[in-house]
Amino acid sequence: GQSLEQPSEVTAVEGAIVQINCTYQTSGFYGLSWYQQHDGGAPTFLSYNALDGLEETGRFSSFLSRSDSYGYLLLQELQMKDSASYFCAVRDNNDMRFGAGTRLTVKP
């Protein structure tokens, strides 16, 4: 089966850098995705990695190491609006499995 592990909570200050880790177990692998969800809102797609290495999109970057079954989301120059939950996700045959989510709190 598939499982994803990520920390439940992370706290950081405005302007800092924070890394949210995700380890996964899969029977097949199509890539690791990241979604953001603000309180009361819908999940929205942030990034995706299929190959090893770092993918950068503005202040957000995502990293993947397939040999370690490990990835992370890196958020730089944190802003208050980055306070949200972040989910890693993998495809499992024809459905998608999410981690339990990491709640990021950004403090002034």
Partner 1 sequence: EAQVTQNPRYLITVTGKKLTVTCSQNMNHEYMSWYRQDPGLGLRQIYYSMNVEVTDKGDVPEGYKVSRKEKRNFPLILESPSPNQTSLYFCASSLSPPGGVTEAFFGQGTRLTVV
Contacts to partner 1 by CB under 8 A: 8, 30-31, 33, 35, 41-45, 48, 50, 87, 89-101
Closest CA relative to residue 75, chosen from 7, 35, 3, 16: 16
For partner 1, the closer of residues 75 and 101 by Cβ is: 101
Q: Which amino acid is at 58?
A: G
CB 95 → partner 1: shortest distance, Å? 5
Residue 81 phi, psi (nearest 5): -70, -10
d(CA 79, CA 49): 24
For partner 1, the closer of residues 9 and 77 by Cβ is: 9
CB 15 → partner 1: shortest distance, Å? 29
For partner 1, the closer of residues 17 and 50 by Cβ is: 50
C-alpha triplet 11, 75, 81: angle, nearest 5°: 70
CB 10 → partner 1: shortest distance, Å? 15
